Amino acid sequence: MEYGSHYAPRGKRPETKHIVVHCAATPNNSTRHTPLGIVRFHYTPESQGGPRHGPWKSCGYHKIRARDGSVLVTLHPAAIGAHVGDVGHNHDSYGICLMGGIDDRGRPDPNYTPEQWAGLEQDIREALTLWPDAEVLGHRDMIERYGGRPKACPCFDVPSWWAGLNSGPADDGDDTIDNPRPELLSQLVVPTSFTVSPTGTDRLLIDFGEPVSLADPDG
């Protein structure tokens, strides 16, 4: 089982209207910022430098793409995340985060690697197999539409990029995505506890409870 792939501490989304792309706002040449570092940050108390109202129940994003293209699955795909709470749409949005997004001076920069661009495309196509009517947007697009404090995240025009990928001639090749498994949506596992390892190590341990049916109102 992938880390977090059945993890849903906030319960199940009632619907999925948006697939939202984010950036981690980390420099492109940083070697100390990692996907697990983002997870660790979300579990850190606000008083110790963590996010607002931290520690959170889980990482806010569903997936995080590292600079080398590897992906960390942090939540069950149907779980309620914590990535567009500023516009009130955690309940109907799926969130993907890319490491990077700013230059060495902290300015917005879509400095993602070819591996990240390719991985992001696959992540979105996988998500659309589960929620074919969902709209692909960036965090900044959600803010523009629903209101909120302006942000550059993810530092590129997601709708235009996605439209460009899908505007070419039809491809008669095999477009099958390896990973999407709708049956994943049949279960959630609610963690009984978690332990965050000391800063500087890339380990995060979770003790999972018994599977909970998505049909269970208490799940």
For the annotated catalytic residues, the residue numbers are 22, 61, 139, 151, 153
Which residues contact residue 88 at a Cβ distance below 8 angstroms, ignoring those fewer than 6 apart? 146
Six-digit token string for 17: 């209207």
Six-digit token string for 62: 């569903």
Backbone angles phi, psi at 191, to 5 degrees: -70, 145
CA separation, residue 125 to residues 20, 47, 192 (Å): 13, 38, 32
User: Which residues on adjacent β-strands are paired with residue 207?
Assistant: 193
Dihedral class, residue 25 (left if φ above 0, else alpha if ψ from -120 to 50, else beta): left
